[in-house]
Amino acid sequence: MPQSIFVNLPVSDLSRSVSFYQSLGFGLDQQFSNEAGACITVSDSIRLMLLTHEKFDSFLTLPRADTTATTSVLIALSRDNRDAVDDLLDTALASGGKEPREADDHGWMYQRTFMDPDGNVFEIFWMDTEAASAAGRMPSG
């Protein structure tokens, strides 16, 4: 099996969260979904595990973060171009997400941020790696 990432996110309303992520164009993997959690396929190697608070808490050694008051993680998700960043952000907003800050445009990188209905933060970005490298923003070698 190729290396993959599964990001576990606590959600207060599983069906609402599944609907939200499906509205963004992500798939639902029924094989890894049940009443306590749902597996959302972002790509072949990226999946979101949406877990009820009770299920999520069963894995913890520290208290669950209150995403209405704190940020526990920033999930950065790349897109192929600036328009794709805007499209995904607009869809997230139309589906119940929130945009907590304005777009960040550095010329060589464009980023927008949305929060899902539970306050989990996604940074959607496009980067021109050649321009970033020329600007000294990428490690060399």
DSSP string, 21-82: HHHTT-EEEEEEEETTEEEEESSSSEEEEEEEHHHHHTT-SSPPP-TTT----EEEEE-SSH
pLDDT at position 119 over 90: yes
- Assign domain 65-141 to its CATH architecture: Roll (3.10)
> Which residues, 6+ apart, have CB-to-CB distance to 1 below 8 Å?
none
Amino acid 133: pLDDT = 73
Comparing 16-25, 49-58, 64-73, 80-89, which segment has the lowest mean pLDDT? Answer: 64-73
Residue 131: per-residue pLDDT: 75
CA 17 from centroid of its chain's CA atoms: 12
Q: What is the pLDDT of residues 33-77, one digit of tens each?
A: 999 999 999 999 999 999 999 999 999 999 999 988 998 899 999
Q: Please tell me the predicted confidence (pLDDT) of residue 141.
A: 47
Q: What does pTM read for this prediction?
A: 0.88
Which segments of the chain belong to CATH 3.10.180.10?
A: 1-61, 65-141
Q: State the pLDDT at residue 137.
A: 66
Query: Considering the chain, what is the average pLDDT of its residues?
Result: 93
CATH topology of domain 1-61: 2,3-Dihydroxybiphenyl 1,2-Dioxygenase; domain 1 (3.10.180)
